[in-house]
Structure 1
Amino acid sequence: MSMRHWAAAAAAAVLLAGCAGPSAATSDPATPEAPTESTTLTVITHDSFALSKEALATFKAETGYDVSYVAPGDVGTVVNQLILTKDAPLGDVVFGIDNTFAGRAVSAGILSPYTSADLPEGADAYAADDTHSLTPIDYGDVCLNADTAWFEAKGLAVPQTLDDLLKPEYANLLVVENPASSSPGMAFLAATVGAKGADGYLDYWKALKANGVKVVKGWTEAYTVQFSGSSGKGAYPLVVSYSSSPAYEHGTQALTQTCFRQVEYAGVLAGAQNEVGARKFIDFLLSAEVQAEIPEQMYMDPVDSSVELPADWKKYAAVVDHPIEVSAADLGANREAWIKAWTATVIG
């Protein structure tokens, strides 16, 4: 958010076995179709989803559902799989689609609208759009993180801005995530678009590539394996992570001039066999119990602003007052073109 805890990723066979077929429910064509419900509920998440066993047990006990959690990978993998299996949905509800992937998910028609009565006051400010297909659950600022001990040992100042990364003294020090497969990677790409403009971000990336940036598939490899400031003790003292990361990896700092605000959502999957349960799960994620767990379990800020944040979070997590901005409309309209151009420029 090591930083994030992970739910155990399900094996491919389990993923396929959990596929939810079309609902058998029927209704009078002249009346609205009632939401489907079954005794099972399949929750699709990214691999950084984590809540306490107690909270998950409470949801299961209160609903009586046999609940399965399937985590096929990072959010990019999740969205890709949900689109590919649109006609035979993998589950009933999804958590973890973020604002960089929201437009793609909504336009693909994989979600059903739902507005929760439990949405905290002010949380609608994080809405992805006006379709009500995605409910905001948490948010976090994706920022460059630095291993301060590494820089102190080298007698080198910690870079502060995106432009600093292009200086010769910071060559071969940065690891980033691929935006095609990683939500933090896409958030950082969006930050460069917001800072350099649609006409200038590729030139920035060309210069970053020339200065030795390393690209890996996702956050787990970047932060826990390649980053020198984490338990993996890798070779790179700069990494794309979160403003909250220093609360859990002391001796690191977030560079607040490089941040992009990421919002994570939950949504009912179109064609769900348990639409009632999917809605209940979204309400559960907005409950006071779960919102209070989010900072320490998933290392994000809850959308419920009344939640008291952990002491270490208050002490070490960076406060980002002015994140780099790209509108949801621009993200939805251009993300695929940006990724394609980035891939051609950086990966080749």
Structure 2
Amino acid sequence: MNELRTDGLSGRRRGRSRRTRVVVAAAAIALVATSATACADDSSSGAEVTLLTHDSFELPEPVLDAFRQETGLALKIVKSGDAGQLASTVSLTPGAPKGDAVFGIDNTFASRPIDAGALEPYESPAAAGGAAEYAVPGAAGQLTAVDRGDVCLNIDNGWFESRSLTPPASFRDLTRPEFASLTAVTDPATSSPGTAFLLTTVGALGNGWQDYWKQVVAGGATVVSGWEVAYNQLFTAGEGRGDKPIVLSYASSPAATPGTSALLDSCFPQIEYIGILKGTRNSTGARKLVDFMLSPAVQKELPSSMYVYPVQRDTPLPAGWPARAEVPAWMSSLPPATIAENREMWLDQWRAAVGR
């Protein structure tokens, strides 16, 4: 989303991820390049590209500085809440964008900016290396995949072991009060991981998904606004050392937080995209940024910085990472068009089920 992520690791780590996601307050962060000789395209207001993104965006400054060195363009990063908030911001300003490109809108929210006409099509030549396989159906070139992660429930195994308790074996076990009361999940109306987990229950449980949520919340589960609060404040293995040993995060989060694991039957795939904003004053620079996000330098850094998988084939992963961040063998999945068509209805039904 990653709300992908960050996780108690260093960057998004949505599981510090989704990724410490150590979050910098949602604000404009300028990575200033001092190249006075750099030139942007004729439609640009200067030698700068502005990227709108979510709070969990994190890449090392040397990697980002490479963009300036390669293109002569400064990169200004403006963070704007969770993926859902980001999608709303972009969708409300078609043709009059607050930046040149946007990164972090995921497959659960992709339909919003597409339907709003807020994106300028561009098919990066680099996408043939793997990103094209994750393209939004029927919207070629409007959003380019950059990374993928899988939203899953995470378990603090150490917490259960220290109390000689058996942890849940499936997301279905959360209907039992002894597990529900130990769980922190995120609101699907405000959090992209929350949306993903809602879709997991819709896809896996069919007509029984509303009863599932009624039981989980009645059993004492805590519902919060976003991933950062759930993982970094409430999770017993998170940075805040909270009191919830079960939390909604990512399948990759255990790579960042030793002693934890993911319930791999509870996962929903989350693809994060970059897109060019319609009305940008620097279309050429934005295209260069899309290409850059698919470059080997960025792709190989994604697992360590944001705890997500790269989309480009043959990108090396950190040593031991696949073993710690196991890819689910099965995932609930729904097409973006189906999500778009039913999202508001499902949210209304979810609110009714949990009494919010």
TM-score (structure 1 length as normaliser):
0.89
Q: What is the CA deviation profile of residues 186-216 of structure 1, one whole-angstrom value per residue up to 9, with x for unaligned ones?
A: 111110111112x332121111111111111
**1:158 maps to 2:167:** yes
Amino acid at match of 2:53: T
Q: Specify whether residues 11 and 263 from structure 1 end up closer, same or farther in structure 2 by C-alpha distance, changes over 3 A only.
A: closer
DSSP 3-state at the match of 2:314: coil
Cα RMSD (Å): 1.9
Match in the other structure for 2:350? 342
Match in the other structure for 1:18? none
Q: Which shifted more, 36-45 or 128-137?
A: 36-45
Question: 1:120·1:286 contact (CA, 8 Å) conserved in 2?
Answer: no
Q: CA deviation at 1:142?
A: 0.6
Q: Alignment partner for residue 89 of structure 2, among 81, 88, 91?
A: 81
Q: Alignment partner for residue 138 of structure 1, among 147, 172, 196?
A: 147
Matched residue pairs, number? 328
Please give the residue correspondences for 1:1-348 in structure 2 after superposition, counting only pairs within 5 Å.
Answer: 1=6, 2=8, 3=16, 4=19, 5-6=21-22, 8-11=24-27, 36-39=43-46, 40-131=48-139, 132-197=141-206, 199-348=207-356
Question: 2:26·2:55 contact (CA, 8 Å) conserved in 1?
Answer: no
Amino acid at match of 1:125: E
Q: CA deviation at 1:340?
A: 2.6
DSSP 3-state at the match of 2:80: strand
Question: 1:128·1:328 contact (CA, 8 Å) conserved in 2?
Answer: yes
DSSP 3-state at the match of 2:126: coil
For structure 1, the 5+ residue unaligned runs are: 16-33
For structure 2, the 5+ residue unaligned runs are: 1-5, 9-15, 31-40
Amino acid at match of 2:274: A
Structure 1 residue runs of 4 or more that deviate by more than 4 Å after TM superposition:
none
Counterpart Cα distance in 1 of 2:42 and 2:91: 22
Question: 1:100·1:335 contact (CA, 8 Å) conserved in 2?
Answer: no
Counterpart Cα distance in 2 of 1:51 and 1:224: 19
Counterpart Cα distance in 1 of 2:266 and 2:42: 44
Q: CA deviation at 1:36?
A: 3.3
Amino acid at match of 1:155: S
Question: 2:267·2:332 contact (CA, 8 Å) conserved in 1?
Answer: yes
Q: What is the CA deviation profile of residues 79-100 of structure 1, one whole-angstrom value per residue up to 9, with x for unaligned ones?
A: 1122233352110100000000
Question: 1:9·1:70 contact (CA, 8 Å) conserved in 2?
Answer: no
Q: What is the CA deviation profile of residues 291-324 of structure 1, one whole-angstrom value per residue up to 9, with x for unaligned ones?
A: 0100001110000120111124133112211111
Q: What is the CA deviation profile of residues 260-289 of structure 1, one whole-angstrom value per residue up to 9, with x for unaligned ones?
A: 110000000111111111111010000011
Q: Specify whether residues 263 and 35 from structure 1 end up closer, same or farther in structure 2 by C-alpha distance, changes over 3 A only.
A: farther
Q: Specify whether residues 304 and 35 from structure 1 end up closer, same or farther in structure 2 by C-alpha distance, changes over 3 A only.
A: farther
Amino acid at match of 2:248: V
Q: Which shifted more, 150-159 or 180-189?
A: 150-159
Question: 2:210·2:350 contact (CA, 8 Å) conserved in 1?
Answer: yes
